Amino acid sequence: MAHRRALNHLGTVKNYLGSLLDPAFQKTPNVIYRQSRPIGFHVRLNGHFTNHCGNTKRTLHTSAPVSVAKLLSLEEIFSRTSLQEHLKKMEGEYSECLKAINSSETEKRPSEEELRAKRTKVSLLSPLVHSVGELKTKEKEMAETEMLLKDEDQALRELAELEREACMQDIQTLKQKILDLLIPEEETDLSDLVLEVTAGVGGQEAMLFTAEVFDMYQGFAQYHDWSFEILEYMTSEIGGVRHASASLSGPQSYKRMKFEAGVHRVQRVPKTEKQGRMHTSTMTVAVLPQPTEISFTINPKDLRIETKRASGAGGQHVNTTDSAVRIVHLPTGVVAECQQERSQLKNKEKAMKALRAKLYSMKLEEETSKRYNQRKIQIGTKGRSEKIRTYNFAQDRITDHRIGLTVHDTESFLLGEELLDEMNSSLQDFSNQETLLELLGENQEAY
């Protein structure tokens, strides 16, 4: 990994210096160009990445996206009447519930069941209502501070300017906190996951690309300090991958990885092409939330467990004993296999983990299709039927078609580090905005 990163850095510098001499560099407004700069802490603010260890600032430019017109700023969102009305409604519900709980009038006092429901609602709304109250207080302080900016005393004006900047920062922080509290947390966002990659159209080239994407996600897991345990790995004749799966676990692993589910397309001249022609191949990524024992159970009577000898390259023990395990869920026909370990017991455990994830994903897909049938950004178990991203090697670019975002430097992107993380964060921002606007009952295609 370190060797690949060093080679990639040299290529990055070369590509960047070359792009400065290319007139097309000034004519492409809808891309991100990777720049050599100090490594530092990056914060997203209204579509910008700011580097706190240097002066470089990267802006995310998007072409006309399929799903949304633009990523709205905090000011634009808070200026919407629908948001202000929604916040007032939440404050009203909070006050009513609190009043009912504290009521001393026996006749009007709710039943114990109703009281429990109201206490739960108060507990859920309390952080939001308190944050809205803090925001109103800060905005009032801001107005008072701006009045002092007109004072004749220069020293007082300078102090007021400092106070104004502090108030502005606090207001921005509170607004972001309110939006985060408004966006409902998905139950599965706290789950671990099972990742599956499968070669699609394109024969051996599709399999080679599938192997690269699988390695990219292994790098992405390492970048975020998640565990990455390979469950299944079926190779092709020339080193590609027909199908592979892995178990990932770590903070926000599913919440981040769910945006990678779908069809990925690659456009390049394959190693197997002798005429130098460009080929288009595809592969699919499935991201399945891993349920806990409590949330999802499987009846052992519904399973058929088969054992066989492992296929492909391996040690003497792997290929001469019945260590590979295949589990079939009889009611649905869902199958999970594992042959990575020498121990049949370990392979059975891994196959069960994959099977549980597949069945849980099917259950979730039924529920989410009812709740999110209007969502444009395809996440989680949705969006496998259409391409979500194109990797064009000739133009050295990667385009995510859901938000119209293009980045350059395919080698760096396939390392699964900073560039993939930035694109993934942009998808998260757009998805959060979609969720919020749906909550407010707004049709974002109108803007």
DSSP string of 58-79, one letter each residue: EE--B-S-SS-S----HHHHHT
pLDDT score recorded for residue 8: 45
Average pLDDT over residues 341-348: 84
Average pLDDT over residues 75-94: 93
Contact 54, 38 (CB under 8 A): yes
Q: Is residue 106 part of a domain?
A: yes
Average pLDDT over residues 332-357: 85
pLDDT tens per residue, range 152-175 = 888 888 888 899 999 999 999 999
Instruction: Identify the CATH number of the domain in which residue 199 sits.
Output: 3.30.70.1660
Average pLDDT over residues 230-244: 89
Supply the range of the domain harboring residue 123.
Answer: 74-182
pLDDT score recorded for residue 81: 92
Residues 221 and 369 both lie in one domain: yes
Q: Is residue 400 part of a domain?
A: no
Dihedrals phi, psi of 157, to nearest 5 degrees: -65, -40
* 2-11, 290-299, 382-391: least confident range: 2-11
> Of the candidates 182, 201, 235, which is a domain's last residue?
182
Q: Which residue has the higher pLDDT, 361 or 301?
A: 301
* Spatial CB neighbours of 40, under 8 Å, sequence gap ≥ 6: 51, 52, 53, 54
Sorting pLDDT into bands at 50, 70 and 90, what band is 354? Answer: confident
pLDDT score recorded for residue 386: 67
Q: How far apart are CA 12 and CA 367, in angstroms?
A: 44
Sorting pLDDT into bands at 50, 70 and 90, what band is 312? Answer: low
pLDDT tens per residue, range 96-155 = 988 888 876 666 667 788 888 888 899 999 999 999 999 999 999 999 888 888 888 888
Helix (H, G, I), strand (E, B) or coil at 337: strand
Residues 201 and 305 both lie in one domain: yes
Q: Is the pLDDT confidence value at 230 over 50?
A: yes
According to DSSP, the β-strands at 48-51 and 42-45 are: antiparallel
pLDDT score recorded for residue 79: 92
Q: What distances in angstroms separate CA 35 from CA 48, 59, 117, 311, 418, one per listed residue? A: 15, 12, 53, 45, 12
* Spatial CB neighbours of 114, under 8 Å, sequence gap ≥ 6: 100
> Of the candidates 10, 27, 59, which is a domain's last residue?
59
Residues 369 and 242 both lie in one domain: yes
Q: Is the pLDDT confidence value at 278 over 80?
A: yes
Q: Is the pLDDT confidence value at 11 over 80?
A: no
Helix (H, G, I), strand (E, B) or coil at 95: helix
Q: Is residue 277 part of a domain?
A: yes
Residues 275 and 290 both lie in one domain: yes
pLDDT score recorded for residue 91: 94
pLDDT score recorded for residue 40: 28
Residues 32 and 82 both lie in one domain: no
Q: How far apart are CA 323 and CA 307, in angstroms?
A: 7
Residues 34 and 142 both lie in one domain: no
pLDDT score recorded for residue 355: 87
Helix (H, G, I), strand (E, B) or coil at 349: helix
Helix (H) or strand (E) holding 305: strand 303-308
Residues 220 and 261 both lie in one domain: yes
pLDDT score recorded for residue 241: 94
Residues 18 and 47 both lie in one domain: yes
Q: Is residue 65 part of a domain?
A: no
Q: Is the pLDDT confidence value at 370 over 90?
A: no
pLDDT score recorded for residue 387: 87
Q: Is the pLDDT confidence value at 279 over 80?
A: yes
pLDDT tens per residue, range 20-52 = 334 333 333 344 433 333 222 233 333 333 333
What is the token pair recorded at 247?
Answer: 């178990």
Q: Is residue 434 part of a domain?
A: no
pLDDT score recorded for residue 55: 34
pLDDT score recorded for residue 114: 84
According to DSSP, the β-strands at 262-268 and 387-392 are: parallel
Domain count, the chain: 3
Q: How far apart are CA 362 and CA 336, in angstroms?
A: 14
Q: Which residue has the higher pLDDT, 402 or 2?
A: 402
Q: What distances in angstroms separate CA 338 from CA 20, 308, 310, one per listed residue? A: 49, 10, 9
Residues 158 and 216 both lie in one domain: no
Which of 67-81, 304-318, 335-349, 397-411 shows the highest mean pLDDT? 397-411
Residues 236 and 271 both lie in one domain: yes
Sorting pLDDT into bands at 50, 70 and 90, what band is 416? Answer: very high
pLDDT score recorded for residue 290: 80
Which of 63-77, 232-246, 370-384 shows the highest mean pLDDT? 232-246
Residues 175 and 199 both lie in one domain: no
The 10 Å CB-count burial string (b at 16+, else e) for 122-144 is beebeebbebbebbeebeebbee
Mean pLDDT, the chain, integer: 77
Residues 226 and 369 both lie in one domain: yes
